[in-house]
Amino acid sequence: MMHYSGYYPLDVVNGPGVRVSLFVSGCSHACEGCYNRSTWSFKAGQPFDLLAEERLMADLADQRVVRQGLSLSGGDPLHPRNLPSVLRLAARVRRELPDKDIWCWTGYRLEELNAEQQQLLPLLDVLIDGRFEQRLKTNRLAWRGSSNQRLLYRTEFGTQLACGLHHHSE
């Protein structure tokens, strides 16, 4: 079972607008200078069980504070040990809350993704790919820690969101 080391039901840092952010546990990239080293262990944090999934879905659907979407980070959501849970969650968000966007950060490059990892791509609006590279560290690029990381728009909706052309109605 996938674990998570961080959950933020009201996040304004990891993507545009107010979001729900889930930091999964488990990463094998071991990037020098990583600010999320505590997420490297697959057993860090708590199990992402049905109760945690239901809470996340309820927070995303909550109309008292409208969330623009879901951000998946970590750890690495695309690590093979996390992928089944991440795929299930992303598919559920798409099915039950189709107006929410989904952003995902991974240390893998798009070109490195295997067939199983590629199954997530149609469910994402934006993919930020690439390992964090300490020598390329920058604070000048939105939502990326180093200049080698790419912001890849998977849908027209994702492009509009990232460029500020689309705003969710309140």
H helix and E strand count, the chain: 4, 7
Does residue 11 belong to any structural domain of this protein?
A: yes
Q: Structurally, how many domains does the chain consist of?
A: 1
Residue with tokens 């952003």: 103
Is residue 117 included in any domain, yes or no?
yes
52-86 confidence digits (pLDDT tens): 999 999 999 999 999 999 999 999 999 999 999 99
d(CA 92, CA 80): 19
What domain range is 133 assigned to?
3-162
Q: What is the band of 168 on the pLDDT scale with cuts at 50, 70, 90? A: very low
Distance CA 7, CA 52 (A): 9
Grade residue 32 by pLDDT with cuts at 50, 70 and 90: confident
From residue 81, alpha-carbon distances to 26, 76, 91, 146 in Å are 8, 9, 17, 25
82 vs 149, which has greater pLDDT?
A: 82
